[in-house]
Chains A and B, each alone.
Chain A
């Protein structure tokens, strides 16, 4: 089974509107971390936001917030007040196990296009 599932290959949003990018995950670990990265056409992976499995509050970083629903195993990214520069690929990722453990598992990504 896929550890990270992103079901939206592409999304469009009007400039200044909010958009939600979906992510579901699959793990049997109690301790894990969820990440969202942005990948512009230049290729680098830019860290956006992190949510630990034991964090009780949803993570927020500026215009980014993570809607963490543990029972549903979902970790959706909400981008508020979209800007043209938000157009990029967005990847959800998961680290299994305790802090400092190994690699990240990535989803297939969602391409976000912001329309002027």
Chain B
């Protein structure tokens, strides 16, 4: 197992376009998290899944954002009608419920909206 994988690594899109990112967690991890990190800031929580159920969504997750984890394995994060303020690094992490620590992060997808 090579850890948490995120694709693509970089995405440049025009304002108003839709984008989709993918995260493949560590296979035995049942929890999956999405974070957003803007320049000069720490990551901010967006949402998390336990298996296929989306259990929590941050107020940062506007109605233009949607996340899915259809079979409890990989997850996708879609942003519709992108805005320049969506430019950020989108980080995915996974963990095993019940473990005190062990959040493993992916390398992120850097989104630039032009």
Interface size of A by CB at 8 A reads: 25
A-B pair count, CB < 8 Å, reads 63
Contact with A along B15-46 (1 / 0, CB 8 A): 00000000000000000010100001111110
| Chain A residue at minimum C-beta to C-beta distance from B34 | A103
| Chain B residue at minimum C-beta to C-beta distance from A50 | B101
B98 within 8 A of A: yes
A30 within 8 A of B: no
Q: Do residues B42 and A100 form an inter-chain contact, with CB atoms below 8 A?
A: no
A47 within 8 A of B: yes
Pick out which of these stretches binds chain B: A14-22, A37-45, A71-79. A37-45
Q: Do residues B48 and A43 form an inter-chain contact, with CB atoms below 8 A?
A: no
Q: Do residues A103 and B48 form an inter-chain contact, with CB atoms below 8 A?
A: yes
